[in-house]
Amino acid sequence: MSTADRLGYRRRNSAGCSEEVITKRYTILPISDPEEGGYTATVPTLLGCVTEGDTLEETLENVKDAIRLYLEDVEASGESIPGRIDIPSACHG
């Protein structure tokens, strides 16, 4: 399990002006695929936020972009930004 760097983006107010920078941490679950090679990463708090890469480093960079895009989409639709959740220790295995 990995935690991404703080990810931030600028929120736009109703006038379209940049209002503030939002930063949150999200848990990232990278999974290697020994048969196909590469990695897949999911973000449990952000349902459906999944990405992949050939290396772990590439996957972690891709997941940062995936999180940013996910949050931009959520905000554009007027939904609230999901917060961080803790994964039970049994899942750290």
pLDDT digits over 57-93, tens only?
Answer: 999 999 999 999 998 898 888 887 776 444 444 444 4
Domain that holds residue 51: 2-79
Tell me the average pLDDT across 26-31.
91
Based on the structure, what is the number of domains in the chain? 1
The answer to whether position 13 is within a domain reads yes
Q: Mean pLDDT over residues 36-61, rounded?
A: 94
Choice between 33 and 1, residue whose per-residue pLDDT is larger: 33
Residue 75: strand, helix, or coil? helix
pTM above 0.75, yes or no: no
- In this structure, what CATH number is given to the domain that contains residue 30? 3.30.160
Residue 88, in any domain of the structure = no
